[in-house]
Amino acid sequence: MFEMLRNALRIKDLRKKILYTVGMLLLYRIAGVIPVPGIDVSQVADAMERFSMLDFLATMTGGQFSQMTIMAMGIQPYINASIIMQLLTVAIPYLENLQKEGEEGRKKIAQYTRYVTVILGFIQAIGLTMGMGAIRSTALGPVITPLIIGLSMAAGSAFAMWLGERITDDGIGNGISLLIFAGIIASLFQWATRGVSSAFTGFITLADVLTTLGVIVVVLLMVTVVTFVERGERRVPVQYAKRVVGRKMYGGQSTHIPMKVNSSGVLPLIFASTIMQMPGTIMAFWPNTTIANWWNASFMSGWLYQAVLALIILFFTYFYTSISFNPVDVAKNMQNNGGTIPGIRQGKPTSDYLSRISNRITLFGGVFLALLATIPTILSRAAGINLPFAASSLLIAVSVSIETTRQLESQMLMRHYKGFL
């Protein structure tokens, strides 16, 4: 990777794109130090200790949520808006037709996504601050203060969305993913900084050293496994028959259909974690009820929680795969273009064959995501090792690193061909 980065910096165009991307990421981090008026940060810290779902937001934003800056929502409203619009394209015929119209239709969907992002950022900012009881009484009154908080954080989310689009258009690409990656890396850096400072200011025991080494070993193993699974794919061979059109002969080539092992990415983890944390967040408004005590004391800290979380991850893995991959359409397109899978007849046998392969791969990917989500808790209870990140954070960081490396390699290869031409 470092050799590839060094070679990319030698190319003038790529060097400009890399420096532009680094500048946008620095601007994103600098904007994260501007505080939002009217918020009691101590109440936010107390709420983060009670609600584990807020730790996920803090990790994704690189600690900006815990400080309640204008970038506290980060890019999360845009992610939620993108997921909502992606699901609505399946349910609403108008959006489905827009998606099929090509570039113009995708531009309209992207425009609607921006509008939904600002609205979600405004609503989430007011809802979270009011739910945490973090709004201070000011001279502006109980109505104007929440509006200012909502507008400030919605503006921060819009600014983060704009930065991500600029990185995608003028930088090295994957702008939104790189912003999330920057927040995760910043959170890991803060954890490492706290560990180093405590090592110099406090008394270090053998248990502390062993715990730190255990965290490092587990992180390296998880990164290796995630990288292996993220790059894994099942290649289904496809043979296209020769056909004569006029005086020219077309087809006769062999290719393959790449089917990724983890085609759903990190979305099942995000969906499942949000659903499992939502009841606890709602029950926090009535902390002394019987069901709230059972949920927080027994269910959240027991193995039943991990089992239900794993089942929900499996469900969303299959759900997202069924949306993103349609074996019937793939088989129909292959038949229209004269393509066949060796040993499989065209039409329904081909779609059934692709469906079987997709189900097997999806099962493996779902089990992998479920294990990845439960490993930190298992290690925490069995060996007393507390990982400084969530499973989704690790998966996002590794996925973004792999994808960014691929994009840089493809751009370098394209310029290599230009040199020959």
- The answer for residues whose C-beta is within 8 angstroms of residue 274's C-beta and 6 or more apart is 53
Domain annotation covers residue 408: no
Domain boundary among 169, 202, 235: 202
Q: State mean pLDDT over 339-361.
A: 87
Domain annotation covers residue 415: no
Q: State mean pLDDT over 155-178.
A: 87
Best-predicted range by mean pLDDT (215-229, 340-354, 371-385):
340-354
Residues 237 and 378 in one domain: yes
CA angle 274, 88, 75 (to 5 degrees): 50
Domain boundary among 181, 202, 223: 202
Residues 70 and 16 in one domain: yes
Q: Per residue in 71-128, pLDDT tens?
A: 888 888 887 788 788 778 877 888 888 877 777 888 888 888 899 999 988 888 888 8
Residues 152 and 221 in one domain: no
Which stretches within 232-286 are classed as H helix?
Answer: 267-283
- Provide the domain limits for residue 364: 205-388
Domain annotation covers residue 261: yes
Domain annotation covers residue 419: no
Residues 183 and 222 in one domain: no
List beta partners, residue 154.
none
Strands 243-245 and 254-260: unpaired
pLDDT at residue 155 in the model: 92
Domain boundary among 202, 227, 253: 202
Domain annotation covers residue 160: yes
Amino acid at 331: A
Q: Per residue in 40-52, pLDDT tens?
A: 888 888 877 766 6
pLDDT at residue 379 in the model: 67
How confident is the prediction for the chain on average, in pLDDT? 78
- The answer to whether 153 touches 36, Cβ cutoff 8 Å, is yes
Residues 164 and 270 in one domain: no
- The answer for residues whose C-beta is within 8 angstroms of residue 51's C-beta and 6 or more apart is 277, 280, 281, 284
Phi, psi angles (nearest 5°) of residue 286 = -125, 75
Domain annotation covers residue 101: yes
**Least confident among 35-39, 165-169, 292-296:** 292-296
pLDDT-derived band at 384 (thresholds 50, 70, 90) equals low
Q: Per residue in 256-277, pLDDT tens?
A: 888 888 887 777 877 777 677 6
SS3 38: coil
Q: What count of other Cβ atoms lies within 10 Å of the Cβ of residue 209? A: 11
What the block records as the tokens of 357 is 């392969």
Residues 232 and 101 in one domain: no
Residues 170 and 283 in one domain: no
Q: State mean pLDDT over 246-265.
A: 75
Domain annotation covers residue 396: no
Residues 230 and 162 in one domain: no
> 419 pLDDT exceeds 50?
no
Residues 138 and 197 in one domain: yes
Residues 184 and 267 in one domain: no
pLDDT at residue 389 in the model: 62
Q: Per residue in 176-214, pLDDT tens?
A: 888 888 888 877 777 777 666 666 665 566 666 777 777
pLDDT at residue 43 in the model: 83
> 375 pLDDT exceeds 70?
yes
Phi, psi angles (nearest 5°) of residue 59 = -65, -45
Domain annotation covers residue 377: yes
Residues 162 and 240 in one domain: no
> 413 pLDDT exceeds 50?
yes
Q: Which CATH number is 258's domain given?
A: 1.10.3370.10
Domain count across the chain: 2
Instruction: Indicate the pTM of the whole model.
Output: 0.74
Residues 29 and 55 in one domain: yes
